[in-house]
Amino acid sequence: MVSCGKKKPTAEDGEKDLTKKTAANPIFEHAWPTPQAEKELSTSVTTGLTTAEAEQRLARDGPNALTPPPTTPWWVNLGKHLLGGFALLLWAGGILCFIVYAIDQTRLPEFYLGVVLVVVVVVTGLFGYWQDSKADAVLAGFLKLTPQQAIVVRDGNEGVEMDATKLVKGDVVIMSGGQKVPADVLVIECQGLKVDNSSLTGESLPQKRGVGQSDELPHETHNIAFFGTQCTEGLAKGIVIRCGDDTFMGQIATAAVEGEKPQTQMQIELNRFILIITAIAVVLGLVFFGIAFALGYDWVVAVIFMIGIIVANVPEGLLVTVTVALTITAKNMAAKNVLVKNVETIETLGAVTVICSDKTGTLTQNRMTVRHAIYSHESAVGKISPMDHPGDGTPERQSTNNSATTNGPFLGRSASPGEEAPAPAQATPTISISASGPGASGGGGRRESLLASSLDMSRPALHAVHYGTKFRSPQDTTLEFGLLLRCAALCNHARFVEKKGPLMQRPTNGDASESALLKFSTSHMNVDLARKQNPEVCCVPFNSSKKFMVTIHCQPEGSHLLLMKGAPERIISRCNRLVNGTPCDEDQRRELQAAQMELAANGERVLAFAQLELPVQNFPKGFKFDVEEENFPLEGLQFIGMLSMEDPPREEVPKAVAECQSAGIQVVMVTGDHPLTAKSIATQVGIIDFEAVVTNLETSNPDATAVVVTGPEIDDLTDDQWDFILSRKQIVFARTLPQQKQRIVAEFQNRDHVVAVTGDGVNDSPALKKADVGIAMGVTGSEVAKDAADMILMDDNFASIVKGVEEGRLIFDNLKKSIVYTLESNIPEILPFLANITIRIPLALTTIMILGIDLGTDMLPAIAFAYERPELNIMKRKPRDRVRDRLVTLQLIGVSYLQIGMIQGFSAYTAFFWVLNDFGFTTNNLLTQQQGVTWDRSDTDSENIGTCYRFVDDGGAGGGVNAGGIERCAGFGYRNLALRTAQSAHFVATVVGQIAGGIIHKTRFLSQLQHNWENMVLNFGFFEEVALCCLLVYTPGLNSVFGFEPMAAEFWWCGWPYFFLTIVYDEWRKWWCRKFPKSLVYKLTFF
């Protein structure tokens, strides 16, 4: 026996395959007949469980609810942000600063630096944690699948309403239309119950339930109603066989929660970048710590050198920059109806090579819609032609002066009370379709008729009546078409819940098929008026054995009209003529069956319609019709025609699929629906070309470009077969189970693909979790699917994914620009410490000043690159190669450190030496005296007693000794003033160089003359850099904190020649790369 409640399916240690997880606890109860179920579950179908027994089982097994996914404690997440990335390096630097201060408490600058480093780590860590917390808050309330109430039989009392979480195995429950199934239930009595299994199996149509096993597979059998699915109509009684995590849905949800999520591409790239920079910083720091110690420096001084080098190498603000840039992109995507739960997956979406898309609700509208009409139409002879589909609004025939008559075609209609007036329809030609494709396609495909060559006056023709969300009607308002509309409207119990808004989006209270017929009829006639004038007096409801529905209506003149709809083979066999009087002989039946099969081969569901005018003498007004005795004829009917239905594609999907394919992304359909339906929709949206050679595993045509694979075939596939399937350009998987969807994702990933998965059902959640990017539907998606996904399409629009891919590719390009921009300033930041140690010149930039650049002037421009628009059409290029196209490459390091960084280094030191020379400290003296290490110490310091820091006192005339200047020894106050001013000039020149870097990195390939300056955030960032420089250098008090000294305006110009040199050099580099893409310059410098 299978226990209930919280017990989870077992699996072998280390097993990651969902197949084995679900196989560990398979559903087998569907094979039980009712007496065996009563015995196994110790219950009674008539009296149910006793309250005492139910409470005992509830205490043993736990509540009937899904276990929420495990959450990481807040303090663990906070710790990851405070100790991850560059944080450990900065923590180490801060702690060393405090140790230095503890040994020598006169070193206040080191203490302040330690405080600053700790504040930087804490603030950036809290910022990252805050961003993650906002994403987690979006998920609040997502796990709400559990039904709230259930109707049970307890202690012999029927109709007891109780909390569904208190159900136990063995409870007898009653289910009806509009309710959710409260657990996995074995059906023991059924009156037309249908359930919507789309969230579990992907089937778009409601599925009938019945008594007795109909299939060996539990998800295919009709005698089980699954937990969480919706009852659409009917009534049934059943025994609870499983609840909570043991249910079919529970096993899927558990597997999704336990599934291992692949590391995002952004995580991989950032970890690699952190490793590279950390290695550079630690190696340089340790090497120069050793060099300083070997040159005789005190170990405290050597430690300070090491801290400075580490701080200079580590871009403290870069992780914040990346986080903010991703957040900005996430907001841009939210404006495009893509909610991003994990911002790091944005870039991964840009690197996607395969999109495995669900069909129902994602590629299609999740609304059954009338697609084709089959009826006799003599004017169709010789004029069946391709049909164009103008993109106007939903056409609904508007009423003319002719009101609908009782027996007329009902083609005129007017708005019902409270209903918006419909838009006028446009007349269109009729169309025939082939067996290989639909009658009309979103891509404007045209089909030759297989029937056109042999049409005669009485032969039925195929007429396209629907395209996308728009109804079309034949150009001739024929009697046959009017009768077909009347039958579809009257032999129909669906009703509109409300009559406002677009016709196709109005809610109804009928099943999917009847709702489709109601909307189709409403688009051509006044259904309410027809029903009012022809009230229903008798009904034979549809059942699985008869496969037809009959309604009888009293017409205004008192006669009765019998209408029938149902499976074509059942309807045709009961007809002896067509409505135009043509005998329905064997030849005519074959013609009708051929037309029906033509549509069925495209995966469309076909219903046939017939009528019979009952003679008044036998069935006078007021006649009592008896359904049990069937005191009315069901044979000898007049065949009217047939209507085919399908869940049509979304109008925007074909274009979106084409854009994906042009971007080098393969779109694969993975659905639980029938193979014919899947292939039909795949062809309509462009996943399979109309001209493609389609194969399957039975034929295995090696020349085929397309393949359709069914779920039962997947479990036994060999590696060679997988290679064959996944090497096809166009792939459709149909009738797949959750574990098979997950297997498909894994097979693609094993072949080095980056996989995105879209889905809305619980059955999609394991694949969503397994995928590199899981994308759930926001409107129709189940809560389990949303929880397993990384992104949510708020409008359920597949086309929104294309916008997400573009944003993902753009943010990767822009992050490259941010990183190369940020790293360029490392050279003018590192060189001062190296020069101070090796050639002993004064320190040109202090550690606190470095933080002023990394966390001050550089931050806004680095973030502003997130607003930069693409240079070229990034959706025309292939997805990036994860091995070669890395976020940080040797070329990027080379450009930032050895090219632009070196220019900035020369610029900064030009300004530094210029200022010192102006104060009388000549470059020659600085290089020969080698007194830079003790320059900033007071004259009373033990190392400075007797030391002369020579400078030329020329009275401000300039020219030094040659102009009559006298060499003197500079006191601490004078040389400190000169050094602080020179450091300010070094700082300003570095910032000027960074402005040039910001300008050149607006593009990676194009010239600035080919790009625009519309990024106003970056433009403002340049202004902010200059303003912040002025604020730090010239504001009293603040400049003292950072060690700056106000300087003359002339020293600002030292960096500008290098500013223009930077722009000219980079323009030449990009021109050479564009002109000679195979040159050495391109290979070494294009990043």
Catalytic residues: 358
**Tokens describing residue 270:** 């950032």
10 Å CB burial of residue 716 (0-12, 13-18, 19+) is: exposed
- With CA atoms as reference, report the closest residue to 683 among 673, 691, 671: 691
What is the rounded (10 degree) CA torsion for 693, 699, 701, 705? 40
Contacts of 193 (CB under 8 A, 6+ apart): 175, 176, 177, 187, 208, 209, 225, 231, 233, 234, 235, 236
Sign, CA dihedral 88-91-96-102, equals: negative
Written as one string, the DSSP assignment of 93-139 is HHHHHHHHHHH-TT-HHHHHHHHHHHHHHHHHHHHHHHHHHHHHHHT
Burial class (CB in 10 A: 0-12, 13-18, 19+), 777: buried
Q: Which is nearest to 295 in space by CA: 961, 714, 838?
A: 838
In 687-726, the DSSP E strands lie at 694-695, 706-710
Pair type for strands 369-376 and 460-464: antiparallel
Output Rg (C-alpha) for the chain, integer angstroms: 38
Say if residues 45 and 188 touch (Cβ distance below 8 Å): yes
Answer yes or no: are the C-beta atoms of 485 and 525 closer than 8 Å: yes
Q: How far is residue 84's CA from residue 126's CA, in Å, rounded to a whole number?
A: 12
| Strand, helix or coil for residue 388 | coil
Q: Which two tokens stand for residue 1032?
A: 């730090």
Is residue 678 a contact partner of residue 203, using CB atoms and an 8 Å limit?
no
Q: How far apart are CA 999 and CA 1007, in angstroms?
A: 11
Q: Which amino acid is at 658?
A: A
Q: Which of 755, 701, 750, 699 is nearest to 722 (CA)?
A: 750
Provide the 3-class DSSP secondary structure of residue 605.
strand
Residue type, position 403, single letter: S
Q: Which amino acid is at 162?
A: M
Tokens for 369, please give them: 């819609």
Between the alpha carbon of residue 14 and those of residues 20, 258, 438, 452, the distances in Å are 11, 11, 47, 61
Of 774, 956, 676, 1018, nearest to 262 by C-alpha is: 774
Closest CA to 162 of 182, 144, 145: 182
Cα(1054)–Cα(670) distance, integer angstroms? 63
Alpha carbons 373 and 389: distance in angstroms, whole number: 17
- Give me 36's structure tokens: 């065996």
From first CA to last CA, the distance across the chain in angstroms is 62
3-state helix, strand, coil split of the chain in percent (to 5) is: 45, 15, 40
Helices (H), 139-192: none
If DSSP codes are grouped into helix, strand and coil, which group holds residue 645?
A: strand
- Quote the Cα angle for 1044-1049-1055, to 5°: 80
Torsion angle of C-alpha atoms 583, 589, 592, 594, degrees rounded to 10:
-150
The β-bridge relationship of strands 560-566 and 548-554 is: antiparallel
